[in-house]
Structure 1
Amino acid sequence: MRLVRYGETGAEKPGMMDGDTLRDLSGVIDDITGATLDDATLARLRDLDPASLPAVSGKPRLGPCVGAIGKFLCIGLNYSDHAAETGAEIPKHPILFFKANSAIVGANDTVMMPRGSTHTDWEVELGVVIGKTAKYVSKENALDHVAGYCVVNDVSERHFQTQLTGQWTKGKSCDTFGPTGPWLVTRDEVPDPQKLGMWLDVNGKRMQTGNTATMIFTVAEIIEHLSHLFTLHPGDVITTGTPPGVGMGMKPDPVYLKVGDVMTLGIDGLGEQRQEVGQDA
């Protein structure tokens, strides 16, 4: 299934994609959140006849594909070729940082560069949405705790991230720096999350091309590692790193976003995003 949340910011309704038709789920569930991502609820939704659900007219805004996200967890330097382009050593354990939930926006919402930003960068990433509480799980059963997968653009302000004393969170958490969606694809439709092609363009020029096969730590290994540090709850989202081609890694000189630029990005089977770049007031 492809589950969506549509409508104005803060007033999104739950929906389901039926081919190219958006169907309204608000008569069945209140929202798509951790409370509705358990296996039983997803099975109930899967048994619905999509044609029995009201079709949504027009082309409404698509909000973040998960509402009321609990923790927004991010894994850094998780692609061997991306680590190489940044000159970083291959990490021995998953590098973890947090992205503020206030950064989360819809897949096609405007990305706003913060005041004083000159180093805003792009990162296409596979997002993993937890559907069942995970604590001390093994990598062998870790994927059983996943509700589904989505596209995330881990937008980053590199000066804030690396030059303002502190953790990476400073450069990752600016408002609008977490486009998530367009939809949540349930795990039954993603048989192997380590075989997904991914890409990102800026102004129509291909910047990133990669595949989740080159992850240093697999999705299952990441869930195992994190669940031994703290409990993962339904509705938590984990972004799992980016392939090479980010602006800071361009040679001979880095390339960063400017107002008016357009990012388009996608992952096989998980949909596409499009964001224009604006300037925060």
Structure 2
Amino acid sequence: MQSPLAGNAPVRGRIVVNGAIHEVEPASPGADGTARVRLADGRIFPESEVQWLPPVEVGTVFALGLNYADHAAELAFKAPEQPLVFLKGPNALTGHHGHSRRPADASYMHYECELAVVIGKTARHVSRADAYDYVAGYTVANDYAIRDYLENYYRPNLRVKNRDACTPLGPWLVDAAHVPDPMKLALRTSVNGKLTQQGNTSDMVFDIPHLIAYLSSLMTLSPGDVILTGTPEGLANVVAGDTVVTEIEGVGRLVNTIVDDQTYYCSH
């Protein structure tokens, strides 16, 4: 079986063209400044005119709750004493320029800009000192939450965090070697062009080596597994029609649109 991380480009993504999955890399912008992608065969497409997939074939998704102290304070919680981890199903994922559904009965749905860590090789009982050796690369996640159904921030249930297409991921997997210090990256979110969230990965409660050591002490991590490392403060409600951009310094800019029930189901 081919590894989900096949290929050696330093920055790569995955799209669907004519029903076939292609690995792509960034291309030079068009004459009008339009962002474009290049297929291995040389064909070039505007990035907004292709169907994007998550940049790797994703395995298990581990999501962190309250992993930024400012976010915990924003919600009137103390920072946790050990990682608060929950799992996400594969249907929760969608790609760059994807649509995420806001349920008709939801009164509060918010984004969460997160650095996503992609595991590159089998990891079991990994030490902090060796943790980065197991990272293939990094991408951007936007882990929406339907806060109406939140019963306990420490144990978010399925209705809060596992909705179809409510975790955009991408557009690029950036090779770990091209991110010198993932613990010093600026994060930001904008809604309809207005900046609403800013933070820095240096403010994580549990850093990436800690998370890899902790998770690999509980279970074996496999290539393609993804760790969503939490979000800083600055959450805001989003509604159908909003365009949400989550961006991480040196990793990428992930664009997503919120749609209503009818629009979502007509397109799926």
Report the TM-score when normalising by structure 1: 0.81
**Equivalent in the alignment of 2:7:** none
Q: Deviations over 1:209-254 (max 9, x none)?
A: 000000010011101100011111001111000011012xxxxxxx
Offset, 1:115: 3.8
**Equivalent in the alignment of 2:24:** 15
* CA distance in 1 between partners of 2:239 and 2:214 (Å): 37
* CA distance in 1 between partners of 2:128 and 2:63 (Å): 18
5+ residue gaps, structure 1 = 26-52, 248-255
Structure 2 residue 64 is the aligned partner of structure 1 residue 63: no
Offset, 1:169: 3.5
Q: Name the structure with the higher strand share.
A: 2
**Equivalent in the alignment of 2:238:** 257
What pairs up with 1:110-259 in 2 under 5 angstroms?
110-162=99-151, 167-247=156-236, 256-259=237-240
For the residue of structure 1 that corresponds to 2:212, the secondary structure is: helix
* CA distance in 2 between partners of 1:124 and 1:6 (Å): 22
More displaced, 233-242 or 260-269?
A: 260-269
* CA distance in 1 between partners of 2:246 and 2:220 (Å): 31
**Equivalent in the alignment of 1:2:** 11
Q: Deviations over 1:157-178 (max 9, x none)?
A: 0112337xx7434301111111
* CA distance in 2 between partners of 1:180 and 1:273 (Å): 7
For the residue of structure 2 that corresponds to 1:175, the secondary structure is: coil
Report the TM-score when normalising by structure 2: 0.85
For the residue of structure 1 that corresponds to 2:218, the secondary structure is: coil
| Residue identity matched to 1:86 | L
**Equivalent in the alignment of 1:54:** 42
* CA distance in 2 between partners of 1:10 and 1:128 (Å): 28
Offset, 1:6: 1.3
For the residue of structure 2 that corresponds to 1:141, the secondary structure is: helix
Offset, 1:108: 1.3
5+ residue gaps, structure 2 = 1-9, 30-35, 263-268
| Residue identity matched to 1:7 | V
* CA distance in 2 between partners of 1:143 and 1:19 (Å): 31
Q: Deviations over 1:78-126 (max 9, x none)?
A: 0111111111111111100112210111121111112422211110000
For the residue of structure 1 that corresponds to 2:209, the secondary structure is: helix
| Residue identity matched to 1:113 | R
- State the superposition RMSD in angstroms: 2.0
* CA distance in 2 between partners of 1:101 and 1:54 (Å): 31
* CA distance in 1 between partners of 2:18 and 2:56 (Å): 11
* CA distance in 2 between partners of 1:87 and 1:240 (Å): 20
* CA distance in 1 between partners of 2:127 and 2:190 (Å): 36
